Amino acid sequence: AQRVTQPEKLLSVFKGAPVELKCNYSYSGSPELFWYVQYSRQRLQLLLRHISRESIKGFTADLNKGETSFHLKKPFAQEEDSAMYYCALSGRDTNAGKSTFGDGTTLTVKP
Amino acid sequence: DVKVTQSSRYLVKRTGEKVFLECVQDMDHENMFWYRQDPGLGLRLIYFSYDVKMKEKGDIPEGYSVSREKKERFSLILESASTNQTSMYLCASSFKNSPLHFGNGTRLTVT
């Protein structure tokens, strides 16, 4: 069985502070990990995927297979980063759409 | 840009009614999905489809059915709506194992 855990339901930081949204997973095969974001009144959208190894809107996430983690990080949070963030996992050998999602973390960046 | 359109943004139905939620995508994606989004529970997969007239159960299919008569359209059906099906419903599509593209969601209230 595959499982995604986001331990923080709510996270609040001040503008300019570093932010880390935690994601841990369990999966027996080769995982593919994603971060999706939902801004207020907008649709859920892909933020980044580990296979791309790119930085989007200043966010990065590194897959740590030893710790089974895929934490999302940004060195200097901005107010426009306030949103709901979901970590998701799928198997490399399965359809990526059949993903398992974490419960989500609501990030609030205060001025 | 991929467009996934859900026909209704808000719906209010009575207990016992048959409810249809419609979703259309314009990018010729093979895969289509229905999730429900509840606070603290993340996204849970209801049903998905990899091809026309094909459907597979997700994690919480009870009380739901789906129809995919055309590649671009995927309908979610609540056979007899109940109050515990009050939720936000998200449709998504994807090409093979690429990430998901989501619609804006339908907020369904069953009274």
Test the A interface: residue of B4, B43, B59, B93 with most A CBs within 10 Å: B43
Owning domain of residue A56: 3-110
In angstroms, the CA B18 to CA B90 distance is 18
- Give pLDDT, residue A90: 85
Structure-token pair, residue A42: 């907008």
Distance CA B44, CA B61 (A): 10
Rounded to an integer, the average pLDDT of B61-72 is 96
Q: Does domain B4-110 have CATH number 2.60.40.10?
A: yes
Residue B103 has pLDDT above 90, yes or no: yes
Cα–Cα distance list, A47 to A6, A88, B75, B84 (Å): 16, 11, 27, 31
Q: What is the pLDDT of residues B9-55, one digit of tens each?
A: 999 999 999 999 999 999 999 999 999 999 888 999 999 999 898 89
Q: What percent of chain B has pLDDT over 90?
A: 84
A70/A105 Cα distance (integer angstroms): 14
**Domain map (residue ranges) of chain B:** 4-110
Top residue of A95, A103, A105, A106 to mutate, by most chain B CBs within 10 Å, is: A95
Give A71-87 pLDDT, tens digit per residue: 999 999 999 999 999 99
Distance spanning both ends of chain B, measured CA to CA: 37
CATH of the domain at A62: 2.60.40.10
pLDDT of B21 reads 97
How many domains are there within chain A? 1
Q: Is A30 on the interface with B (CB under 8 A)?
A: no
User: Could you tell me if A43 lies within 8 Å of chain B, comparing CB atoms?
Assistant: yes
Assign A46 a pLDDT band (cuts: 50, 70, 90). Answer: very high
Interface size A-B, in CB pairs within 8 Å, comes to 61
Do residues A50 and A33 touch, judged by C-beta distance below 8 A? yes
